[in-house]
A and B are shown apart, each in its own frame.
Chain A
Amino acid sequence: MIIDVHAHLWANNYKEDKKTVLKACELFDIDKIYISTISSYYPDYEEIEYCNKLTCEFMKEQPSRIAGYIYIDPTHSNRVEVLKRGLDNGMEGVKLWVAAKCDDYRVYDIAKYCIDKNVPVLAHAFHKAIGLLEHESTAVNIRCLALRYPELKIIMAHLGGNVYHGLRCIADLENVYSDFSGTMIGTGDINYALELVGEDRILFGTDLPGGGRQCFAQVEEASLTHLQKDKIYYKNAQKIFGGSK
């Protein structure tokens, strides 16, 4: 069984992206895939609504395979309303991207609501040498959020962008998981991740529709037991996505 906890539709290309996602699911036997629809870095209210609508439609079209994240811009005053509406529509997690750092004070009410409803937050994090956006989070921001809300289940995306910097930063925080979605494919990254945080906090993600094969490659190339592979491929995800109370 395989659960992909990190994939997208791009709002301006969603029809093609849906096809790519489903084709990838067929080819690689992905049983369930958690999607968020995103578009611009700094979306307005309408764009957020549109993105979440596209995700919900995809969930309805493929109920057994597609699950949804609620995409939220924390700078919007209706952020908690967006969150509530998403959960009412059957979405199972929150996606925070680059509009605000994930430890911004405007994330606090989102975090509290997610704790109350037992909903995980997938937070983008990437330590970049070049091209870091003004409000883009790194693992340091993830750490701050996790320390403030130790009951909040956080998925730090992309191993924080650089496994050596990112994962070390959250290694001692049991409420932070990490996925290795994306196009960073350093040799031995998964082995290092396991040494540092153990097999129970690493999640499989692809960042589809952009690439994805390399994420399977990383698991298959790492020195893992069957049980470790199962945990990474799906068991850890099953624990996190318990659904709202």
Chain B
Amino acid sequence: MKTDYNCFVGAWPFVKRRQIDFDGLRIMHEKHGIETGFVSSLGAVFYNDPFEGDFELAKTIKGSGYKQAVSINPMLPNTVYDIKRAEESFSYDAFRIYPTIHGYDFDSPQFIEFHHMAIQKKKPVFIHCAFGDIRLDYLLKQNPFEVDSLKQFLASGMRIPVVLCNMRHGSMIDMEQTLNNDKNIYVDMSEMRHSMFSLEDMADAGLLNKVVFGAFYPMFDFLAAYMHFDGVEEKTCSNILNRKII
């Protein structure tokens, strides 16, 4: 099933974005043959009660065949309770985290506690290595993304699938060894905008089997990721689009 691992519904508070509702997402997916997605609430990224954003989204996508990735800020005191409430209120399939926005390292006790919880619940974790174009941020100041810190965390071995979302092309290549050493780590295509021949470079680095499709729509143009399939062998494209991580 062709899947988008990085898609959102809702308004980004700092720059105007269009087609931000679920219908806009679905129409875009249908147009390009994407059958489902792990969708998250943009509002929940910023709420100090992310559950409320997730709960709203759950009602919106119910019965659609889409899966929900709930937004987690491990630094909030009510994270454990939020997850419990989510389990009681709706069905979700993954966790999505934003260390550069919420400001923590992979060795912080709160993150480690959350990670253990994700392992217990056997849910994949989508880690956003950045969120949007930091040059255009207004009011928000994201922490710089620390590749070394992430490498160290991933080197401990992932017992659940992890998708690195919004990772820049150069960092993916830089993490070649880490990615290839662990069958549970994947990267999405949303930041391939920095290279013209990104998938080719990934193939050269032996990383094609690590790539899943994710467009980061509606923050980014959907086709900005999808067009990286142009000129690429159909089988390779199909493998990426249909890749299952769980």
Q: Which residues of A contact B (CB under 8 A)?
A: 20, 23-24, 27-28, 126, 128-131, 161-162, 164, 183-189, 191-192, 208-214, 216-218, 220-221
Contacts and interface: CB of A to CB of B under 8 A. Distances in A.
A216 B19 CA distance: 19
B62 interface: no
A222 B228 CA distance: 18
* Size bracket of the B interface: 20 to 34
6 contacts: A126-B135, A185-B220, A186-B133, A211-B193, A213-B193, A214-B223
Contacts of A188: 17-19
Nearest to A164: B16
A130 B144 CA distance: 12
Given A128-B135, A129-B137, A221 B222 contact: yes
A185 B16 contact: no
Contacts of B138: 129
A27 B18 CA distance: 30
A24 B196 contact: yes
Contacts of A189: 221
Interface of B: 15-19, 133-138, 141, 192-197, 217-224, 226-228, 230-231
A221 B227 CA distance: 11
A218 B221 contact: yes
Contacts of B192: 213
Given A129-B138, A216-B227, 15 more contacts: A20-B197, A27-B231, A162-B15, A183-B133, A186-B136, A187-B217, A187-B222, A188-B19, A210-B194, A211-B194, A211-B195, A213-B224, A214-B224, A216-B223, A221-B221
Most-contacted residue by chain A among B135, B138, B141, B195 (CB, 10 A): B135
A130 B226 contact: no
Nearest to A206: B196
B25 to A, nearest CB: 10
B135 A161 contact: yes
B227 A187 contact: no
B166 to A, nearest CB: 12
Interface pairs A-B: 3 shortest CB-CB: A217-B223, A188-B18, A214-B224
B224 A129 contact: no
Most-contacted residue by chain B among A23, A28, A212, A217 (CB, 10 A): A217
Contact of B221 (A23, A24, A187, A209): A187
